[in-house]
Amino acid sequence: MTKPRNIPCQACGHNPDKKISYQHEETIRFKWKSGNLINPPGHNSRWVYREYRKKFGAAFATVGHNFTRSDNFRRITLTRVYGKGPKGGSCYPFDDDNLAQGAKPIIDYLVTEGLLRDDSPSDIERVYKQEASEDGKHYMKIRIEEFDESK
């Protein structure tokens, strides 16, 4: 019996055989907003988008210098770590659409900073995760991986 081979995914192009040539992860104090708050239905939300992106930029500035800039294909993994609500109650995971929509300004900021080539699927692979905080605080983790292009 032959062993099954890992082949690239037809949908997203992920190749499990590729070797990672660069990897860096940082944690920042930033509260990831739901897509419903960034782009509320029936409202002009350009101001909300700009303010959210600006707040992320200020939080990211503390660790941004630790990442290497590159024009190569990269995988970005953004993890939302959710803590307690403003009145001490529990926060909950977002649905997938709101999680991805809340990441749009973050991805756009990382593109303008040169950490990602572009936000198209041919330039980056996006992975969004979320988990409950152990200390009740809100923050996020950013991991950027680059693959060895020779394989």
Q: Is residue 11 part of a domain?
A: no
Query: What pLDDT was estimated at residue 85?
Result: 77
Q: What is the CATH number of the domain that holds 101?
A: 3.30.1330.70
Percent of the chain with pLDDT over 90: 51
User: With bands split at pLDDT 50, 70 and 90, how would you rate the model's confidence at 5?
Assistant: low
- On whether residue 12 sits in a domain, the answer given is no
Tell me whether residue 35 is in a domain.
yes
Cβ neighbours, 10 Å, residue 121: 11
Model pLDDT for residues 43-56, shown as the tens digit of each residue: 666 788 889 999 99
pLDDT tens digit string along 94-118? 999 999 999 999 999 999 999 998 9
State yes or no: pLDDT of 147 exceeds 90. no
Interacting residues of 123 by C-beta distance below 8 A, sequence separation 6+: 73, 74, 116, 117
Residue at 50 is within a domain: yes
| CB-based contact 23:141 (threshold 8 Å) | no
For 49, list phi and psi in degrees, rounded to 5. -60, -50
Domain range spanning residue 81? Answer: 20-147
Task: Read off the tokens for 106.
Answer: 């973050």
Is 4 inside any structural domain?
no
Close Cβ partners of 145 (under 8 Å, ≥ 6 residues apart): 20, 22, 23, 74, 75, 76, 77
pTM over 0.85: no
In a domain? residue 116 = yes
**6 contacts 17 by C-beta, under 8 angstroms:** yes
How many domains does one find in the chain? Answer: 1
Place of tokens 């770590």: 81
Task: Establish if 68 belongs to a structural domain.
Answer: yes
Q: Where are the alpha helices (DSSP H) in 5-95?
A: 35-38, 46-60
Give dist(CA 84, CA 96) in Å, integer: 20
pLDDT for residue 76 is more than 90:
yes
Look up residue 131 and give its amino acid.
Answer: E
Residue 7, pLDDT score: 59
Q: What is the pLDDT of residue 9?
A: 64
Residue 151 or residue 71, greater confidence: 71
Q: How far is CA 62 from CA 3, 26, 56, 107, 119, in A?
A: 46, 10, 11, 17, 23
Does residue 10 fall inside a structural domain?
A: no
